[in-house]
Structure formats: C-alpha cells, structure tokens
Amino acid sequence: MRQRPLRSTAGGNLPSELGRFIGRGGELAQLGRLLESSRLVTVTGVGGVGKSRLVLAAARAAAEGSQERYCDGVRLAELAPVRDPALLELTLAEALQLTDHTTRPPRTVLAEHLAGKRLLLVLDGFEQLVDECADLVRELLRRCPGLRVLAAGRRPLALEGESTFPLAPPPPEEALGLLVARATAADPAFAVTAENRAALVELCARLDGIPLALELAAGRLRTLSPEQVLARLEDRFALLTGGVRGGLARHRALRTAIGWSHELCTPAERLLWARLSVFAGQFDLDAVEYVCAGPDLPVEDVLDLVGELLDQSLLIREETPAGVRFRMLETVRVYGAGWLESLGDAGRLRRRHRDWYLGLATWCELDWFSPRQQEVAALVEVELPNVRLALECCLDEPDEAHLGQYLAGTLWFYWAGCGRLTEGRHWLERTLEPVDQAVEYESSRLKALWVLGYVAALQGDAAASMSALYECRDGAAQSGNPVAAAYAVHRMGCLALVSDDMARARELLGTALEQYRAAGELNSNVLMCQVELGMALAFLGDVPGALALCGEVREICEERGERWTKAYALYVLAYAALDAGRTQEARRLLIECVAINHVFHDLVGLVLALELLALVTVAEGDASEAAVLQGAAEPMWGGVGLQLFGSGYFNAPRLMCREQAGELLGAERYAAYEAEGRELSREALVGRALSSPEERAGAGGVPRQAGRLRGPRVPSSRAAADQP
C-alpha cells in the first residue's frame, strides 16, 4: 500500500513547521510526560484551539529526544480528509509507507508491520471516523507492544488506558503574543503601541484566545486598526452566535471569528470560499479555475481572489513534489461547505470537481507514456484525496457508475505502477458492483474489469483475476472491442507468468502482442506485454529471444522517456547478462532498475531486482554483502503476493544466492549478515544497493571475500526452477 507540506526525512514524515511555534511550553512539557507514561494520548478541544500544532510540536520533540523509545521513527497520518471508513487503514498504511501486493486485509498488514516496531503514530483529525478509528487503534495497541499513539481530535477515542489531554485556549499574555507575532509576520510594520495595546488585549479576550480566531484576526490587521477590528467584531457578534442555546462560549467565539472573516470578505471572495470547500486536502490553481469559475465568478478574477484569501489566512500555500498547492484548514472548509449547501449549489460543484479529476486522470494516463512519468506519479499522489472524492461522487449516483469505472480503470498505472494495489482493488470492485448499465458505457466496464484482473493477478489472487479477465474477454467479444480483448488476453498471460505456467504465458502473451499491433495500440501496457513475453522466453531457456524483445523495449522506452516498463526490461537484460557471466553489465543494469522501481514504489520490481543483484554480488565475490542484500529483500516478499512468493522461476536467484553465499560464509556468518540486512529500512537498503563495490569498501562497509566466483548460471529449465 503508500506530499503535503515539505516533510523531513529523518525519523518520520512530520511536516516542516511553517511558522514559529509560539507559547504552549507548559502544555508541551505536560504532553511529553503523558507520552512517557501512556501508550495512547489524545489531545481534545474545540476546532481551532491549536490541537494539531501542539501534537506536531510534541511529536517533533519526541522524535528528537526519544531516539531509543521511537527508534523506528514518528509517523503522521492526517485523517481529516478521510470520509470513507474503508480508507482508514489504507491511509495509515500510506503514512507508514507500506506497500502490500497481497490480498491480506490492510489491518492485518498494519499489525504485522508494527508488531516488532518501536514507533510513535500521530493521528490528526479523526472525529468523523471516531468509532472506526478507536477500533483500529485498540487492535494495533493490543498487537504491537512497541507502538504508542498520539491523537488529536474534538473528542476522545474512549479506549481503556487512554490519557486525555483537554487543550484550552492559551492564557491572555500568550494569546496576545500569538496575535502580535502573526500580525507582524503579515505586516512587518505592525507594532504594539501604548495606543493600540488595550484594543489588542480586548480583541484577544473577545475571541477567547482561540489560536485560529487570532490568526484570522491577525490577517485583518494588515488593513484595519485593532479598534476597527473590534468594532466590526462587535457588529457581527449577535448575528453569528444566535441560536446556539447552551453552546460553549469557545464554540461561539470560533464561529464568530470565522463568520466575521466571512462577512468581511467581498461577495466574490465569499463565493470562492464556499466553492473551494468541495476540495479535499491540497489543490492547485488550475483546478480552482475550472471548478469554481462561472458567469458569477469570472475565471480571470480567480487568481486575485485566491491571493486575497491567502492574505486573510483563509487559504494556506504549500510546496509539494507536484508544485505549489493550496489548502484550507478543516474548520474553515466546513464553514464554507455550510454556505455552499445554503446556496443550493453543492451538487453542481461536486460534479464539476468530479469532472476535473476525470480529466486529470485521463491526461495522466496519456502522460504516463512519456518522460513525465515521475511527475505524473507525484501528481496523483498529491491529488489522491481529491481523486477519492471524485470516485465517491461517481458512486453516489447510480446512473453514473460508468464514470467511476472509467476513473478507477484509467488509474491502472497508479494502482499497479506505484504500489497502490490494495486501494485500486477497493475502488475497482466498488465501481463494478452495478452490473446493469447502458450498452454505450460497456467500454468503461471492460477497462475496469481488465484492470481488476491485472491488480488481482499481481496480488496473487488467481481466482478473482481469472473471473474478471474472462468476463472482460467475453464482453469484448460480444461488443466487438478488440482492444479490450487484447488487454484481457494479455493479463491472462501475466497471471500465467506469475503462476509459473511459462508455456501458457508464452502463448497468451504472444497472442496479445499480435492483437495490440493489429489494433495499433502502443503504450506502457503493450511494452510490458513484450517484456513479460521476454521473461517467459528467458525462463524457458530462449535467452536470445528474450534479449531481442527486451532490447527493443529498452530502445522504445529511451526514445519515449518511459521508465517504469524500462525497469522490467532492464531486469530481463540483467538476467541474460548474468546467465552469460557478464556480472559488471548485470550490476549496471540492475542498479538502474532498482533506482527506477524505488522512485515509483513498485515493490514487485524492486524485490526481484534486489534479489538478482544479490546473486550478482555473490558472483563478484562479496558473499557477505550479498547476504545483507538478501536478508533485506526477503521480508519484502510478504507484501508481494503468495503466488509470486511461491514461484520457482522468480525465486531461483534467491535460492541460488542463499546456497552460494552460505557455502562461502558458513551457516552462522550467513545468518548474521542476513539478520543485519533485515534491520535495514527500505531507504537504507536502496542506498546500499546503488553503491558500487569500491564505494562500499571505501566507506568501510562489509569486507569483500578474497575468492571470486565464476558467474553463476541462472536456471533456465523448469527442473532447475523447481529446486526446493
């Protein structure tokens, strides 16, 4: 399974602090003490009181000061954008950078991954899924003794052993310091004077010191004096707190602050605010212009309006791997969503949002077969919360199931190429549930079916894969869709390949390749079919045939800038080079292969390349380093899929490496180096794999063996592949 603000890479994925953390020293110390004594600490409080910032500050302090307790890092899962309970476990898996290609329940994968870890898991914004989140946290804490959880929400999880930390607004002097600091950041000329101090103190008191309210007020101090801000707040107070009988004063103050900011906006700014509430997480300007513009909000005005909302602290600007993005604080977004509902325009805006992401997915699929593959992967990763919303929108309307099938099918490259098999299968199966739909939408259903068959095959679920692919093949024959038929036959061949039926794989993949060429189809899928046919030929002993096919794929990929399929072609070419005893060439090919697979989080390609690289390392004479690589790669098989894990052909390099390195090192030393490898993180493993033997020796790494081996012959017969 698997950027938001810029994230640190050491010890976790915590976002960088965008502004100076002000005050809260006592609360921070108390929270730290609670974390030492309790495995579950939940910070509660009204929206806007500063729960998220306090929790993140505590998490950073824990990461820096408790290296032994949290030796496996600190990981943040942002849950506020998650509405579907089925995505809760997937979101946590993403936060933990888990990639799993099996059919195991995500909860099982999480528990097994965390079972031996000493890690702090931070959960922010869980209140919309409090029951599901509580159930998951209970199970993870029960099964993972080294896990601690720090959560932030408007209510506790109500679990046994939970320590609740109610967060109140800061005291008056601290609130004033926050207001002044934020106002100075917005306008360096701002200063506290004898004339305005009393008004600033009163403003803090009227807003009950709630940090979000103070930050919104600070944005207004760029253009208004403190006295003017107070006057406007007084004008709006009764209007915006009416009807909250018995409500907490802090709730009224927060609503006052946000409502007051809303009233101070121009009509166009208010309208944009409301329409922006249809986005989840981060979004870019192009999406805003398409979704939100209209006759009453000209597209040429949107950029300036976004700037105004930024100036008023109603939007936040963030740098991501996919470029500049904007987001709203959840409290601000919910307020805007209420206004959008009151305008009666929510349904239309949701559909426009859906249409934008349908178009974005279409463009990304086309651009995947280009030099921009890495950018496409980063873009979909950042836009995933919005893609999920678009899929939900499709599922909400029975007559629009075909749009969901189209969107889920179009994202095949992300599900299969970027380590998202479990989530991809979730959406594909949901969109395929309606079986009766208009004939004109049959192509969308056929695409979703072959993608589902592909995903299930990679997960090792042969029954589900064949069911989907047979349905796709038969439907393609009935509707006269030769392209869908080719994809169905191709993925049947892929399933045969990972199931060790090489003769059938050769037949089906060859047929699919002919059908693709007859239909004029050329993309990453077609090239992957050619690579998979090359694999089948190599395993059957036809190494020259495999070289010809994969050499051609490599040339096309380099011409088109395609990297994902190229990595698999490099794997086959390295296999052939090693078979011929050309270890230096094999290493060079595999280093490039590992680097590409790591970029795309492709666990299948990565583990295969690493194990072949371990065998190359034995051939170079460095049995100890080979054992380290093998030890690090072996646990990854648990997330690849049982069918592939049991493959005699794909696992032959692993078995040969274990045998040959074990002979050189002896069982005890081999086990020690293998154990060392199992302790490596994936980042460390990849860094080690990409280093040359000379670099490892120069860095004082594992010493190379004195003797050198003749290049091993990779098994090419079924008998060799079936060795125990």
Instruction: Tell me what pLDDT residue 715 has.
Output: 43
Its sign, for the CA torsion 302, 308, 311, 315, is negative
Question: Cβ atoms within 10 A of the Cβ of 334, count?
Answer: 14
Q: For strand 74-78 and strand 119-124, is the pairing parallel, antiparallel, or unpaired?
A: parallel
Helices and strands, counts by H and E, the chain: 35, 7
Ranges of beta strands (E only) in 264-332 are 316-320, 323-327
Instruction: Tell me what pLDDT residue 702 has.
Output: 41
Phi first, then psi, for residue 642 (nearest 5°) are: -65, -35
Residue written as token pair 């976004």 = 306
User: Which residue type, as a one-letter code, is found at position 549?
Assistant: L
d(CA 604, CA 565): 12
Confirm if 630 and 680 have CB atoms less than 8 A apart.
Answer: no
d(CA 575, CA 540): 13
Distant-in-sequence, close-in-space partners of 667: CB < 8 Å, separation ≥ 6: none
pTM of the model: 0.83
Instruction: Tell me what pLDDT residue 709 has.
Output: 26
3-class secondary-structure state, position 723: coil
Burial of residue 719, with CB atoms counted within 10 A of its CB: 0-12 exposed, 13-18 middle, 19 or more buried: exposed
**Residue 641: closest CA among 534, 440, 499:** 499
Q: DSSP string covering 68-129, please?
A: TTTTT-EEEEE-TT---GGGHHHHHHHHTT----SSS-HHHHHHHHHTT--EEEEEE--GGG
d(CA 432, CA 482): 21
DSSP label at residue 580: T
Burial of residue 285, with CB atoms counted within 10 A of its CB: 0-12 exposed, 13-18 middle, 19 or more buried: middle
Question: Cβ atoms within 10 A of the Cβ of 81, count?
Answer: 21
Instruction: Tell me what pLDDT residue 372 has.
Output: 95
Dihedral of the alpha carbons of 496, 500, 505, 507, in degrees to the nearest 10:
-120
DSSP label at residue 371: T
Token output for 507:
């037949």
Dihedral of the alpha carbons of 479, 483, 489, 495, in degrees to the nearest 10:
-120
Residue written as token pair 């049959």 = 442
Question: Cβ atoms within 10 A of the Cβ of 520, count?
Answer: 7
Instruction: Tell me what pLDDT residue 281 has.
Output: 87
3-class secondary-structure state, position 700: coil
User: Which residue type, as a one-letter code, is found at position 301?
Assistant: D
Instruction: Tell me what pLDDT residue 704 has.
Output: 35
User: Which residue type, as a one-letter code, is found at position 626?
Assistant: A
d(CA 33, CA 155): 21
DSSP label at residue 461: -
Length of the chain, in residues: 724
Q: DSSP string covering 125-174, please?
A: --GGGHHHHHHHHHHHHHH-TTEEEEEEESS----TTPEEEEPPPPPHHH
**Residue 367: closest CA among 383, 353, 379, 349:** 379
Residue ranges in the chain modelled with pLDDT below 70: 1-11, 17-19, 66-67, 234-253, 435, 437-438, 641-646, 693-724
Confirm if 604 and 101 have CB atoms less than 8 A apart.
Answer: yes
